[in-house]
Amino acid sequence: MRFRETETVELKSIVMDDIKKEIIAFANCDGGTIYVGVADDGTVLGIENADKCALQISNMVRDAVKPDVTMFIHYETLECDGKAVVAVNIQRGTNRPYYLAKKGLRPEGVYVRQGYSSVPATDTAIRQMIKETDGDSFENMRSINQALTFEATKKEFEKRNVVFGQPQMQTLKIVSADGIYTNLGLLLSEQCPHTIKAAVFEGINQNVFKDRREFSGSLMQQLNEVYDYIDFHNQTHATFRKLLRIDTRDYPEVAVREALLNTLVHRDYSFRASTLISIYDDRIEFVSIGGLLPGLELDDLMMGVSVCRNPHLANVFYRLQLIEAYGTGMKKIMGAYANALVQPKIKTTNNAFKIILPNVNFTPKAAEAHKKFENAAALDLDSNEEKVLQFLREHLMITRKETQTLLEVSQSTAGRILKAMVDSGQIKQIGGSRTTRYELRKE
């Protein structure tokens, strides 16, 4: 029998540690055979004890390769030129990608066959194998990051006297049957790559930022921190009915809670874009990635029909009594505004979902006052622009720092005024970075 290396044949003179990489590569691709006891040039060297050789490889694979690939490996002893050669036959596995347990689901742990060699798989190839094996459901897929911690989630479970151990993690689909963390586990871990960006604006548009924050970490941590952030900006206004004082918050707490939970439970985590929460004087907007699921209409949603994009995540929230039942969130939001003059709005596109909660304390008088404020700001902006133009007529050029000094404003305000003047065609920007300066635009 003649031996030579091919895409499906690997030759090994003795058992070495890198044989695990070859086995992983064949199991991840189209299978193959490793002949132990044969030199790279095809010379038969033989093995002294074939049974011991097979047992050694079997133990190495069992301890070092995940998921369990042993059922796809078969050993056979061949007689070649009077010498024993061990043939290790590897079939394509059904639970790909296979990887070195110490390295994890990363390129340095996952190998594929490329020509006559076994090479590290790319991130794209790893994700494709996971998708082919685990299906399209994001939360069911195995997480590429397996070094996960769950401190925030553990605290949430402890707070509600719910056990959070290995059996419960498997039941909740945080861990797969073979002990591998799923993407649901990734979402609930401190290593969650998804974030929520929140911002507070002055007025009813995005012209002026008052504050902005980005929340990261476990979804449980984000849930608590974002709610506290909104709650801090959810002001209370007092009215009097004769001698009775009535306190009303800008946004009903039930509506805020349900809108926030909706953005977490129903968003599409296969995209990396952040969830956005924008707080204006007259409303809060919650924008999450992922439109309505196919076959579901907005009217269905308002009637209480719910098709959950992330049922396992929803189940975790249900276990923690954060949600009561599927399909009740929108009803609670609308119910919280039952006696309000303004009602919540829902807007959807193919890839996004927006919930708009109106400020119940934002009155027509407040809107008129805001309009007067904007007009005054515009007049002030015009006077500032005139000062800049007068400076340029005398000095030809101006920097942002000189603008700050001239107008006695902050750095950000000076930058905003100069940008507005550039956009309106009054001046032009020259240079970049630290050398940026501005001059009059010539007709």
pLDDT per position as a tens digit, 325-358: 666 788 889 999 998 888 999 988 888 899 999 9
Percent of the chain, pLDDT > 90? Answer: 51
Contacts of 336 (CB under 8 A, 6+ apart): 252, 254, 255, 258
Residues of the chain with CATH 3.30.565.60: 196-358
- The third-level CATH classification (topology) of the domain covering 196-358 is Heat Shock Protein 90 (3.30.565)
**Is the per-residue pLDDT at 241 higher than 70?**
no
H or E element in which residue 192 lies: none
**Measured between alpha carbons, how far is 266 from 286 in angstroms, rounded to an integer?**
12
pTM for the model stands at 0.66
Q: What is the pLDDT of residue 381?
A: 56
The first and second tokens of residue 181, run together, are 């963390």
The mean per-residue pLDDT over the stretch 124-148 comes to 86
Task: Pick the more confident residue, 103 or 382.
Answer: 103
Among the listed ranges 105-109, 254-258, 310-314, 347-351, which one has the minimum average pLDDT value?
347-351
Q: The tokens 């043939």 sit on which residue?
A: 87
Q: What is the pLDDT of residue 431?
A: 82
Q: What is the pLDDT of residue 420?
A: 85
Task: Pick the more confident residue, 363 or 164.
Answer: 164
Residues of the chain with CATH 1.10.10.10: 365-440
Closest residue by Cα to residue 336 from 261, 276, 258, 236: 258
Contacts of 366 (CB under 8 A, 6+ apart): 281, 282
Task: List the beta bridge partners of residue 345.
Answer: 356
Q: What is the pLDDT of residue 326?
A: 62
How far, in Å, are 137, 176, 267, 367 from residue 194 at the CA level?
A: 17, 21, 11, 35
Residues of the chain with CATH 3.30.950.30: 9-134
Among the listed ranges 69-78, 191-200, 311-320, 427-436, which one has the minimum average pLDDT value?
427-436
Band (pLDDT 50/70/90 cuts) for residue 294 is: low
The mean per-residue pLDDT over the stretch 408-424 comes to 85
**Is the per-residue pLDDT at 48 higher than 80?**
yes
CATH class of 365-440: mainly alpha
Task: Pick the more confident residue, 61 or 411.
Answer: 61
Q: What is the mean pLDDT of the chain?
A: 87
Q: What is the per-residue burial (b if ≥16 Cβ within 10 Å, else e) of 281-303? A: bbbbbbbbbbebeeeeeeeebee
**Is the per-residue pLDDT at 286 higher than 90?**
yes
Task: List the beta bridge partners of residue 110.
Answer: 99
Band (pLDDT 50/70/90 cuts) for residue 243 is: low
Contacts of 329 (CB under 8 A, 6+ apart): 258, 259, 261, 262, 323
The mean per-residue pLDDT over the stretch 244-260 comes to 88
**Measured between alpha carbons, how far is 119 from 114 in angstroms, rounded to an integer?**
7
Closest residue by Cα to residue 146 from 120, 113, 110: 110
Span 9-134 CATH architecture: 2-Layer Sandwich (3.30)
**Is the per-residue pLDDT at 105 higher than 90?**
no
H or E element in which residue 201 lies: strand 196-201
**Is the per-residue pLDDT at 24 higher than 90?**
yes
Band (pLDDT 50/70/90 cuts) for residue 131 is: confident
